[in-house]
Amino acid sequence: GGAEPMLAVRGVKTFYGNIMALKGVDVDVHRGEIVTLIGSNGAGKSTLMMTIFGQPRAREGQIVYDGRDITKMPTHEIAHLKIAQSPEGRRIFPRMTVFENLQMGASVDGFGHFDEDLLKVFDLFPRLKERINQRGGTLSGGEQQMLAIGRALMSRPRLLMLDEPSLGLAPLIVKQIFDAIRELNRAEGLTVFLVEQNAFHALKLAHRGYVLVNGLVTMTGAGRELLERPEVRAAYLEGG
């Protein structure tokens, strides 16, 4: 049905040993939305993103994607459901060139649209085109982030999950990356789930947002509405 979310996280609990990092998390992402999850260090943001991919697994609760229960599905099968992830710390292949990294992304989708998709990525991030033969490990932090997103896009995802794309980047580069995300969503209707510590940019960009505190969602609402709430401003914006 049209109203059922593309991704539904229901009552998810994730443990590291006997420490409960997610304590019953509910998050919905609808088709065509940009949804952001904000929270401070250690709130469990990366854990949620990784749990959706099954590493680590949810010990309780359910993760449903496109009407299918993926809670126990192997990670490599989840990647074939056209969910792409650009993990925190970027994890591009440092010894491969920009071109080879982008090829690795396309390999998930079988190279059917390689040239067309490459042009799109270069349109979005002209910097990558200039550096096509440079090794990934020698790119700047911002360029590596662009490459990580570009590589994820080469797999033609239906859901793009980004873990802290602004981490450690200069404001101008952050703006370029967020503009690119907005453009992908606007022009192609790409659904985006964005995990961010940079609450200001993330909430401005997102249709909806969730605030994660200590493994629990404490607030949810429209992105710009959350941005106006005094509790959000005090905890995530002022002086931050």
42 scored as a contact of ligand ATP (CB under 6 A)? yes
For 103, residues 6+ apart whose C-beta sits below 8 A from its C-beta are: 114, 154
* CA triple 125-129-134, angle to 5 deg: 115
Taking alpha carbons only, the member of 197, 142, 200 closest to residue 172 is 142
H or E stretch including 149? Answer: helix 141-153
Nearer to ligand ATP, 42 or 137 (CB): 42
CB 24 within 8 A of CB 58: no
Nearer to ligand ATP, 96 or 237 (CB): 237
Stretch that binds ligand ATP, among 42-50, 99-107, 147-155, 170-178 (CB under 6 A): 42-50
209 binds ligand ATP (CB under 6 A): no
Check binding of 218 to ligand ATP (CB under 6 A). no
Taking residue 30's Cβ as centre, other Cβ atoms within 10 Å add up to 16
Interface with ligand ATP (CB under 6 A), residue from 12, 25, 36, 39: 39
Smallest distance from ligand ATP to CB 42, Å: 4
CB 59 within 8 A of CB 13: yes
Asked whether the bond before 56 is cis by omega within 30 degrees of 0, the reply is yes
Q: Does 18 bind ligand ATP (CB under 6 A)?
A: no
Q: Which is nearer to ligand ATP, 47 or 71 (CB)?
A: 47
Q: Is 201 in the site for ligand ATP (CB under 6 A)?
A: no
Give the DSSP H or E segment for 20: strand 19-29
Q: How far is the CB of 224 from ligand ATP (least distance, A)?
A: 23
CA distance 131 to 125: 11
Least separation, in Å, of the C-beta of 152 and ligand ATP? Answer: 18
CB of 10 to ligand ATP, least distance (A): 19
Which residues between 158 and 197 bind ligand ATP (CB under 6 A)? 197
Q: How many residues does the chain have?
A: 240
Rule CB under 6 A: say whether 43 interacts with ligand ATP.
Answer: yes
Residues that bind ligand ATP (CB under 6 A): 16, 19, 21, 39, 41-47, 197
